[in-house]
Structure 1
């Protein structure tokens, strides 16, 4: 990767994981345990929850080259391109959105974003485990 640091991708993976697990709030079960209810609420997506905003901000803070490289990494991770075709994936990302303006929304709408990024890093020879140790 020429434009993105592994640390930047790791941060986005963590934010994407938090965003991906959010679910719509549901009515409380009549037989639920008040102690357990607090544990469930952290996974529920409320309007004042900053999780989505944090991921969007992390993506919006990237420059256009970094955004295109992140898209190429996602495509690599989902198997659309091989490591040897990473340059081609990058060129396709540039062609798809030259200004990068819609790229954050595209990435946020990608199911399994964190998984694809993690797999893309793995394909590039970067292990996410080295970042997780001591940080999580």
Structure 2
């Protein structure tokens, strides 16, 4: 008998999904460098350089490491949640089935290249009845 609760179908934990959401939002908040040759002290410029994209981007590296560290089922869950949250599919099961056609080695770069990734994953989870507010409160 099938469960009516789609969140039972998730292999990724809400805590792990929340971590990816946080990292994806940090990545999305970055801006193009305005002063690439800045030689100033970080405290002199209110440490705003951390929000600028650089070639060796630690935020992107953290996000990529988080995604690459997931097993394939968890990565496919994130794709399905993103698609569900973006409105591409009406059900998680349908999105998850379609995600299985994705070439495995391209999943992390595909997710990283998706603007508003964190927002879409959170919306997908919300559609499954999983609220990340509880996890955020417990994390602080």
Is the structural similarity TM-score above 0.5? yes
Deviation at 1:38, TM superposition (A): 2.2
Q: Over the residues paired in the alignment, what is the CA RMSD in angstroms?
A: 1.9
Offset at 1:44? 1.0
Cα deviation, 1:61-112, whole Å, max 9, x if unaligned, reads 1111111111000011001122xx2111111011132xx1101000000011
Unaligned runs of 5+ in 1: 29-33
Distance (whole Å) between structure 2 residues aligned to residue 102 and residue 48 of structure 1: 20
Within the candidate set 79, 86, 98, 2:92 is matched to 86
Q: Taking structure 2 as the reference length, what is the TM-score of the superposition?
A: 0.82
Q: CA deviation at 1:37?
A: 2.0
Output the CA distance in 2 between the equivalents of 1:42 and 1:115.
Answer: 21
- The size of the alignment, in residue pairs, is 127
Q: Which runs of 4+ in 1 moved over 3 A?
A: none
Partner SS state of residue 53, structure 1? helix
Provide TM-score, normalisation by structure 1: 0.84
